[in-house]
């Protein structure tokens, strides 16, 4: 397998080098756009946003006991609770995107059932801490919030519908043992929550945007942003010094580093790809903006549907939906279709559809895909109308 | 001794594989180590989340990366029985 991979890479590089018309000005400027977009990310988002976000994700994945949350996704959990927990637990459980599918399989086969399982499947990738932070920072708070609300809200709707349509599944399966927890937490919850809160505080205030001075409260905070950031920073240092052992800090940094290693290469690759294909907002990439605006501009049903279906099929490595959407929005994509893509994109991809199919069977998977596309389109239409 | 590492190929699962190899080397025990990446087979073990570690058919750990000490203890236990 490895040798085949090497061969394919060499072949791809050769074909690209042979056929791409590098002498054309359009191609040349697209290549420059790729680097300019990369530079923009490096200067604007990596230090102020990604690095703190990796630390937060690292802290969540190391210090928050998953067992305390997973209990509510087990076979004997009260129904109402498991739906609610499933819709937001992705923030804690799906910090590593690779856990979504196996966890979905577990909840589906041995846990709370098809309803909560599909709720988790849909909202997990969207409510991932890193995804929320990056979406809000790069694409704006409005669409960031819409993404979270849409993911949580529609995930529950999809879960309930799946449960209703496939009622017989649960009657057959829910005999599993309780999802066991292992050992009590050796740290009170607030000692974990406060440092994470401090990091979020640093992240938020560090990135507090300048606004119109007429918006009093916002502008006042902006004037004080570095003082506030420093205050949270000092609090964080004090908490780290006092509440964490050396081993814990080692685990935390190594988890943070693992996230960085896993996510940065693909993200920066995605940034360059988005820059090359679509160009930075206000600039052209290989794809002329007119094509983008024609396909997914405005807020029509077709635009939203197209965005939704493309999102469902396309594979997005963790966080790469952000620069791609940034490029699309800059090239004329409407806000509605953008949200549709944000909801359907990370939730599904051609490869993941195959895996889900092996877990749930073809029929249920097709229904799930249809529900995702429909709700994403609907969310896009609503959001597009609202932002007008 | 049969050891199976359950996981779909993410960094955590690879780390478990590495630790198993390290534990076997340190204890100087030999075992059949298999990486199970097929989701249906993983589901058959009834674990909630990957990575999973199965020794001689018994699920020893799931959902997190076990400590090297724990892995050694389980291998030792299995070798003794």
pLDDT in tens, A237-288: 988 888 888 888 998 998 899 889 989 999 999 999 999 999 888 888 888 8
Cβ A102–B39 below 8 Å, yes or no? yes
Which residue among B10, B39, B48 places its CB closest to the CB of A355?
A: B39
pLDDT at res. A207: 85
B67 versus A160: the higher-pLDDT residue is: A160
Whether residue A183 has pLDDT greater than 50: no
Q: What is the mean pLDDT of residues A42-52?
A: 92
In angstroms, the CA A76 to CA A93 distance is 19
| Identity of the residue in A99, A176, A258 whose CB atom sits nearest the CB atom of B49 | A99
Looking at residues A32-43, what average pLDDT do you find? Answer: 94
At A354, phi and psi to the nearest 5? -65, -45
Chain A CB within 8 Å of residue B69 CB: no
Considering only alpha carbons, which residue of chain B is nearest residue A180? Answer: B48
Tell me: cis bond preceding B51? Omega within 30 of 0 counts: yes
Residue pointed to by tokens 């050694």: B72
Chains A, B: CB contacts under 8 A, how many? 54
How much is the pLDDT for A21? 92
Closest CA–CA distance from residue B30 to any residue of chain A (Å):
27
Whole-angstrom distance, CA of residue B40 vs CA of residue A357: 10
The DSSP code for A177 is P
| d(C-alpha A10, C-alpha A43), whole Å | 32
Q: Strands B2-6 and B52-55, how do they pair? A: antiparallel
pLDDT at A169: 64
Using a CB-CB distance cutoff of 8 angstroms, which residues of chain A are in contact with residue B50? 98-99, 102
Please tell me the distance in Å from B29's CA to the nearest CA on chain A: 28
Domains contained in chain B, CATH given: 2-80 (3.40.30.10)
- Listed by start position, the domains of chain A span 25-176+186-386
- Does position A179 have pLDDT exceeding 80, yes or no? no
| B80 pLDDT above the threshold of 50 | yes
Distance CA A118, CA A343 (A): 14
Tokens of residue A101, six digits: 């599918």
B18 touches chain A (CB under 8 A): no
* Mean pLDDT within B42-71: 86
Chain B residues in contact with A258 (beta carbon < 8 A): 11
Q: Is B61 a catalytic residue?
A: no
Instruction: Tell me the ipTM for this assembly.
Output: 0.84
Q: For residues A35 and A285, is the Cβ–Cβ distance under 8 A?
A: no
B39/A110 touch (CB, cutoff 8 Å), yes or no: no
* Chain segment A192-211, per-residue pLDDT in tens: 888 888 898 888 888 887 77
Q: Which of B43, B48, B53 to mutate to test the interface with A (most CBs of A within 10 A)?
A: B48
- Alpha-carbon torsion, ordered A98, A89, A118, A259, to 10 deg: -10
Question: DSSP 3-state assignment of B60?
Answer: strand
In degrees, rounded to 5, the angle at the alpha carbon of residue A302 between the alpha carbons of residues A300 and A303 is 65
Question: Per-residue pLDDT for A182 more than 70?
Answer: no
| CB atoms A105 and B39 under 8 Å | yes
User: What DSSP designation does A228 have?
Assistant: H
With beta carbons less than 8 A apart as the criterion, state whether A161 and A193 touch. no
Whether residue A88 contacts residue A217, with contact meaning beta carbons closer than 8 Å, is answered with no
**Options B10, B39, B43, B44, the catalytic residue:** B10
SS3 B36: strand
CA distance B77 to chain A (A): 20
Angstrom distances, CA of residue A249 to CA of A55, A239, A319: 11, 12, 26
CA separation, residue B5 to residues A341, B69, B71, B80 (Å): 35, 17, 12, 21
Which of these is catalytic: B3, B5, B6, B13? B13
B59 touches chain A (CB under 8 A): no
Q: What is the pTM of this model?
A: 0.86
Spatial strand order in the sheet of B52-55: B32-36, B2-6, B52-55, B58-62
Whether residue A376 has pLDDT greater than 80: yes
Mean of the pLDDT values across residues A346-358?
91
Q: Is B13 a catalytic site residue?
A: yes
pLDDT tens-digit map of A324-335? 999 999 988 999
Lowest pLDDT segment from A90-104, A327-341, A352-366: A90-104
pLDDT tier at A180, thresholds 50, 70, 90: low
CA of residue A178 relative to chain centroid, distance: 29
Interface membership of B25 toward A (CB under 8 Å)? no
Mean pLDDT (chain A, rounded): 88
Q: What is the mean pLDDT of chain B?
A: 87
What is the Cα–Cα distance from A380 to A40, expressed in whole angstroms?
28
């Amino acid at each position: 397998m490895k040798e085949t991979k090497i061969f394919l890479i060499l072949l791809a590089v050769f074909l690209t080098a042979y056929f791409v018309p590098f002498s054309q000005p359009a191609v040349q400027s697209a290549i420059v756009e790729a680097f300019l977009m990369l530079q923009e990310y490096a200067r604007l988002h990596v230090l102020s946003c990604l690095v703190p976000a990796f630390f937060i994700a690292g802290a969540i994945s190391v210090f928050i006991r998953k067992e305390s949350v997973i209990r509510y996704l087990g076979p004997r959990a009260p129904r109402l609770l498991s739906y609610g927990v499933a819709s937001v637990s992705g923030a804690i459980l799906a910090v590593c995107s690779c856990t979504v599918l196996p966890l979905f399989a577990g909840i589906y086969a041995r846990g709370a059932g098809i309803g909560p399982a599909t709720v988790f499947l849909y909202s997990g990738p969207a409510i991932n801490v890193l995804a929320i932070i990056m979406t809000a920072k790069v694409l704006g708070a409005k669409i960031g919030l819409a993404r979270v609300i849409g993911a949580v809200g529609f995930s529950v709707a999809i879960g309930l519908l799946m449960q209703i349509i496939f009622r017989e599944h649960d009657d057959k399966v829910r005999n599993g043992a309780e999802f066991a927890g292992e050992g009590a937490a050796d740290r009170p919850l607030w000692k974990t929550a406060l440092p994470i809160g401090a990091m979020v505080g640093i992240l938020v205030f560090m990135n507090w945007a300048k606004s119109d001075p007429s918006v009093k409260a916002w502008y006042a905070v902006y004037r004080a942003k570095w003082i506030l950031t420093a205050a949270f920073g000092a609090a964080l240092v004090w908490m780290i010094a006092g509440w964490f052992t050396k081993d814990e800090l080692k685990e935390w940094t190594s988890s943070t580093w693992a996230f960085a290693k896993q996510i940065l290469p693909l993200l920066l690759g995605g940034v360059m790809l988005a820059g090359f294909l679509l160009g930075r907002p206000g600039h052209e990439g290989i794809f002329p903006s007119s094509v983008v605006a024609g396909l997914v501009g405005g807020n029509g049903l077709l635009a939203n549907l197209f965005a939704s279906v493309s999102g469902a099929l396309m594979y997005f490595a963790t966080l790469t939906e952000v620069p791609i959407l940034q490029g699309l929005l800059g090239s004329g994509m409407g806000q509605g279709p953008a949200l549709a893509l944000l909801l359907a994109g990370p939730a599904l991809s051609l490869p993941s559809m195959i895996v889900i199919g092996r877990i749930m069977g073809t029929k249920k998977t097709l229904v799930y895909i249809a529900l995702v596309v429909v709700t994403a389109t609907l969310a896009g239409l609503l959001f597009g109308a609202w932002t007008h | 001794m049969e050891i199976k590492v359950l996981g779909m190929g993410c960094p955590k699962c690879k780390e478990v594989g590495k630790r198993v190899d390290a534990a076997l080397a340190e204890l100087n025990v030999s075992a059949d180590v298999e990486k199970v990446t097929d989701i249906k087979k993983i589901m058959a073990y009834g674990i909630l989340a990957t990575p999973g570690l199965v020794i001689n058919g018994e699920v020893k750990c799931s959902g997190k990366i076990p400590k090297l000490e724990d892995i050694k203890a389980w291998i030792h236990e299995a070798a003794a029985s």
